[in-house]
């Protein structure tokens, strides 16, 4: 239950490591490089960024792969099997498409794309060229997220009443997308992973405080199963919060990746007991032990990259699958549309033609 099964990813040996190019050496790219450098299943051939100084910074810190400012070098290189895209969201469509059409497998940072249409275009391209397209939903590899998922799937929490999520801190404003597309994919991918369903309705409320994109958003989500969820997303906050509360009929869980005890299980609840003949509710409250299970400390990004490489080699489907990626884009899109319309919105249905 502590996420240890995840280790198997990183331990498995491949005959030949997958040869990677990492595109984007800004905030997240160096993490991918660091992890790829340590992973036996991967070998970094190229790092690509349009900014020469970003490449130099990489060269100072890591054993030297080839460096280039030209994306075309990367997709033309015969010794590159797969491309890892860690550039701003608005560039995903163009870069991924070019890489897919060059026959490269692609791991692209969340979100897959910034519209449902673009996401479907990428999926179609990957199907056409027979390569793997994987969105980088890192939280699906978080040991804590998996501990909670195991609890949910084992029925330990009972019926899932609601999930309340806060993901706020000061910065970093994105220039090209709202906070729904930037922070939302984390919580939406976790919800999709835990509940195995897509919301039937999304209702968002936002404000563009500093620039003209929404930088604070309150998103309510209603799922077909009856579970509801709420995510507070903000680039404006006095301190960092990463707090998710899962309330079930049997137990409750607090998941907070910033805590030393990232998963806390509360044996608490309320039960309808002995309903009187007069129709009054007799509620009994129960507050039992609180348990913080040991959680493995494996780095999720390493597991994600290992899953990418192993899925290429085996031809299998990664945990962070294209279906998850598409659904997360649909949720981001519905939240953004709802916030603008100030009315609840349904996630856009997938166009069957686009993905076949």
| Residues 309, 1: Cα–Cα separation, whole Å | 25
- Cβ at position 106, least distance to its own copies in Å: 26
Cα 144 to Cα 86, 147, 259, 293: the distances in Å are 24, 5, 11, 9
171 near its own copies, rule: CB under 8 A: yes
Nearer to its own copies, 120 or 220 (CB): 220
Backbone φ and ψ of 119, nearest 5°: -60, -40
- Cβ at position 20, least distance to its own copies in Å: 15
Structure tokens at 342: 């100030």
Residue among 128, 294, 317, 340 that touches its own copies (CB under 8 A): 294
Report the candidate in 69, 66, 131, 125 with the shortest Cα–Cα distance to residue 97.
125
Nearer to its own copies, 88 or 98 (CB): 88
222 near its own copies, rule: CB under 8 A: yes
- From 107-115, 129-137, 138-146, 219-227, give the range in contact with its own copies by CB under 8 A: 219-227
- Cβ at position 156, least distance to its own copies in Å: 14
| Residues 298, 138: Cα–Cα separation, whole Å | 12
Q: Count of residues binding its own copies (CB under 8 A)?
A: 70
Query: Would you give the distance in Å from CA 270 to the centre of its chain?
Result: 32
353 near its own copies, rule: CB under 8 A: no
The three-state secondary structure class of 58 is: helix
- From 22-30, 58-66, 111-119, 190-198, give the range in contact with its own copies by CB under 8 A: 58-66
Residue among 8, 211, 225, 316 that touches its own copies (CB under 8 A): 211
Polymer length of the chain: 356
- From 65-73, 109-117, 126-134, 253-261, give the range in contact with its own copies by CB under 8 A: 253-261
The three-state secondary structure class of 251 is: coil
- Cβ at position 105, least distance to its own copies in Å: 24
CB 202 within 8 Å of CB 343: no
On the CB side of 244, CA atoms within 13 Å amount to 23
Backbone φ and ψ of 344, nearest 5°: -60, 145
- Residues interacting with its own copies, by CB under 8 A? 34, 37-38, 59-64, 161-162, 164, 168, 170-173, 175, 201, 203, 205, 207, 209-211, 216, 218, 220, 222, 226, 228, 230, 232, 234-240, 245, 247, 249, 252-254, 260-261, 264, 266-270, 272, 280-281, 283, 285, 287-294, 342-344
């Amino acid at each position: 239950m502590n996420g240890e099964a995840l280790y198997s990813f990183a331990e498995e040996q491949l005959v030949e490591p997958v040869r990677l190019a990492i595109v984007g050496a800004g905030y997240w790219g160096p993490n991918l490089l660091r992890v790829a450098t340590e992973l036996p299943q991967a070998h970094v051939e190229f790092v690509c960024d349009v900014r020469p100084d970003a490449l130099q910074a990489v060269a100072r810190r890591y054993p030297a792969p080839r460096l280039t400012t030209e994306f075309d070098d990367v997709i033309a290189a015969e010794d590159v099997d797969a491309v890892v895209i860690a550039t701003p969201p608005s560039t995903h469509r163009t870069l991924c498409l070019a890489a897919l059409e060059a026959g490269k497998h692609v791991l692209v940072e969340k979100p897959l794309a910034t519209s449902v249409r673009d996401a479907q275009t990428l999926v179609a391209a990957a199907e056409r060229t027979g390569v793997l397209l994987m969105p980088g939903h890192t939280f699906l590899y978080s040991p804590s997220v998996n501990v909670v998922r195991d609890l949910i799937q084992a029925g330990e929490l009972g019926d899932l009443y609601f999930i309340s999520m806060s993901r706020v801190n000061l910065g970093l404003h994105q220039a090209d997308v709202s906070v729904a597309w930037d922070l939302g994919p984390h919580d939406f991918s976790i919800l999709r992973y835990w509940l195995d369903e897509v919301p039937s309705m999304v209702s968002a409320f936002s404000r563009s405080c500093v620039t003209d994109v929404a930088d604070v958003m309150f998103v309510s989500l209603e799922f077909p199963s009856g579970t509801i969820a709420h995510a507070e997303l903000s680039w404006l906050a006095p301190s960092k919060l990463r707090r998710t509360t899962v309330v079930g009929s049997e137990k409750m869980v607090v998941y907070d990746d910033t805590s030393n005890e990232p998963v806390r299980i509360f044996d608490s609840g309320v039960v309808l007991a002995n309903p009187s003949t007069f129709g009054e509710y007799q509620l009994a409250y129960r507050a039992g032990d609180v348990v913080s299970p040991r959680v493995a400390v494996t780095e999720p990004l390493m597991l994600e990259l290992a899953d990418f490489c192993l899925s290429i080699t085996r031809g299998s489907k990664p945990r962070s699958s294209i279906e998850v990626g598409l659904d997360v884009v649909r949720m981001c899109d519905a939240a953004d549309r709802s916030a603008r319309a100030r009315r609840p919105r349904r996630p856009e249905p997938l166009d069957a033609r686009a993905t076949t």
